[in-house]
Structure 1
Amino acid sequence: MQPGTIAIVLVAALAHAVWNTVSKYKRGDTFLFVWAYTSAATLLCLPLALAALAAGSQTLSWQLAAGAVVSAALHVTYSLTLQSGYDRFDLGVVYPVARGTGPVLTLLFAILLFGERLSAIAILGAVVVVAGIVVVAGNPFRAGARHPFRGVLWGAATGAAIAGYTLWDSLSVTTLHLDPVTYFTGTFLVQSLVLTPFALRRRSRIRFTLLADAGPILTVAVLSPLAYILVLTAMQTAPVALVAPLRESSIVIGSLLAWWLFREAHLARRIVGAVIVLAGIAAISL
């Protein structure tokens, strides 16, 4: 994997860690929160997508429509599962389990379904990254966590959704040759259209959610598409089986942010885990 591609994925990891941290500040309705940041992201990305269409880098086609529809279904599942898990259980359980499960499943299916062939050291690097994530996350069954095993199950369900959309989106930008910005904007647009009728049924709570969560909504609306468009861009030149675990270095960043912002404990363990993750990244770069 080229250094420039690694840099793109690491910037995406930073953006991802920040928006996940911010989403924990959500106070309003979970469904309306997801709907609001999805709709806001659509409005922010739409000018960029229209510019790509005008420039001819992407044309309106059935491939774009089909890709966006399938991706939207997978992303809606992911977003609602993730945010519901955050509502019920500790961030320190759901986030690392989700982000650790996702790349493992992605790597396995990329090899089994796509027939991707990786060097031994690249596979070792991916495994080391996941091992470092486990060290950073610690023991999800530890005393004091709220219903930790259920949190693990929610995290694993989220990880399965992550693997699903990662594989499909990789297929869309590599095999269907869809422009990442236009494609992901279409995905957000479909999500917004699907979620809006259900959001209107909760119209009595829309005002409170928008006012109470304005900051988190705008932050997620900006950083979530930024993070994933960067990942899709990286997938155009690097195997998904390597991009997927590398982007999960966001867990290290998120854990350090949690220690800094929320004064969470176990800093030494997190530093050790960060070093392991960096070792895995170095192996992948070879």
Structure 2
Amino acid sequence: MDPLVLAAILFAAFLHAAWNALVKANVDRFTMMLMIAGVQTAIALVILPFVPLPAAEAWPWLVLTAIPHTTYKVFLARAYDTGELARVYPIMRGLTLALVTGASVGLLGESVAPLGLVGIGVIGAGVVVLSGPKAGALVGLRTATLAITLGAAASAAAYTIVDGIGVRLAGEVASFAAWMFVLDGLGMILFAGVTRGRAAFSATIPHWRVGLVAGSIAFTCYWIALWALANAPIALVAALRETSILFALALARLRLRERLDRAKLSGAGAALAGILLIRMA
């Protein structure tokens, strides 16, 4: 893999873990997700006049991707209400990796070098270990939390595949990204208005500073991811993005005071080995 693409994805992985930690650290996670969507939309609206319209072929994918982007935010906020970052995040990202790899290689026919596939598998194995001691990835979570986490993973996998196709059809990453963020934000704003009414928006006022930071980080993170999806196989991009688990574990320990055990550290080592294999592919 090109070193520039690799470095960009790893930086995006760190940013992804950072904004997730901010969401988890906040008492009202849904409000944080709403603020992130609002900030992303505001930034995108500023950019829109300076980018061309996406190619016509990309528009169905732009409209479609707003759905899983919105459900991802809703599921993720709920998962963090009931589970800790060091457990929910690895399980969600690991399941996302498995779904994206299967879809991109099996359904889309993307070509990934054998060594790259081995690297994806090693990262996936590390994710299973990271989810908890003496456990497979699905053990140790309450049934409700597990179901919500599965919903978040399925949503993330869906928008990764849809965005990977759409951004390549759009003709330019910037135009697809800007419109994607607008439609994504509108979807979340509409959901909040229907389910919580005006109270959903008034609740954001006390948290505007951290929401601005988290939204800006999330915007930058996924813009980089879209650029990577346009320049590398979707399965490899997804695998490298899951290294955000390493950063999430560090933040869980340093900022949220969550416990890290030997199994989690072993899983982190496996994830790092997977990165090296993908780099060599």
Normalising by the residue count of structure 2, what TM-score does the alignment of the two structures yield?
A: 0.89
Residue 255 (structure 2) aligns with = 261
Match of 1:88 among 82, 90, 108: 82
Match of 2:122 among 120, 128, 131: 128
Structure 1 residue 183 corresponds to structure 2 residue 194: no
Residue 40 (structure 1) aligns with = 39
Residue 152 (structure 2) aligns with = 158
2-structure distance, mates of 1:14, 1:140: 27
How far 1:29 sits from its partner (Å)?
7.0
How far 1:71 sits from its partner (Å)?
1.1
Structure 2: segments with no counterpart, 5+ residues: none
User: Secondary structure at the residue paired with 2:8?
Assistant: helix
Match of 1:68 among 62, 66, 69: 62
263-272 or 21-30: bigger deviation: 263-272
Residue 15 (structure 1) aligns with = 15
Task: Report the AA paired with residue 168 of structure 1.
Answer: V
How far 1:141 sits from its partner (Å)?
6.3
Task: Report the AA paired with residue 186 of structure 2.
Answer: L
How far 1:97 sits from its partner (Å)?
1.1
2-structure distance, mates of 1:241, 1:132: 16
1-structure distance, mates of 2:171, 2:48: 12
Residue 206 (structure 1) aligns with = 201
User: Secondary structure at the residue paired with 1:118?
Assistant: coil
- Conserved? CA contact 1:71–1:165, under 8 Å: yes
Structure 1: segments with no counterpart, 5+ residues: 54-58
Distance verdict in 2 for CA 1:46–1:140, change over 3 Å: farther
2-structure distance, mates of 1:140, 1:149: 18
2-structure distance, mates of 1:253, 1:132: 14
User: Secondary structure at the residue paired with 2:203?
Assistant: helix
- Conserved? CA contact 1:65–1:186, under 8 Å: no
- Conserved? CA contact 1:81–1:158, under 8 Å: yes
- Conserved? CA contact 2:110–2:233, under 8 Å: yes
How far 1:272 sits from its partner (Å)?
2.6
- Conserved? CA contact 2:173–2:230, under 8 Å: no
How far 1:240 sits from its partner (Å)?
0.5
How far 1:197 sits from its partner (Å)?
4.6
How far 1:198 sits from its partner (Å)?
4.9
- Conserved? CA contact 1:93–1:148, under 8 Å: no
Deviation per residue, 1:151-176 (Å, 9 max, x gap): 222222211111111111000122x1
- Conserved? CA contact 2:118–2:274, under 8 Å: yes
- Conserved? CA contact 1:29–1:209, under 8 Å: no
Normalising by the residue count of structure 1, what TM-score does the alignment of the two structures yield?
A: 0.87
User: Secondary structure at the residue paired with 1:36?
Assistant: helix
Aligned-residue Cα RMSD (Å) equals 2.4
- Conserved? CA contact 2:79–2:149, under 8 Å: yes
How far 1:229 sits from its partner (Å)?
1.2
- Conserved? CA contact 2:18–2:248, under 8 Å: yes
Structure 1 residue 27 corresponds to structure 2 residue 27: yes
Task: Report the AA paired with residue 78 of structure 1.
Answer: Y
Distance verdict in 2 for CA 1:188–1:92, change over 3 Å: same
Residue 285 (structure 1) aligns with = 279
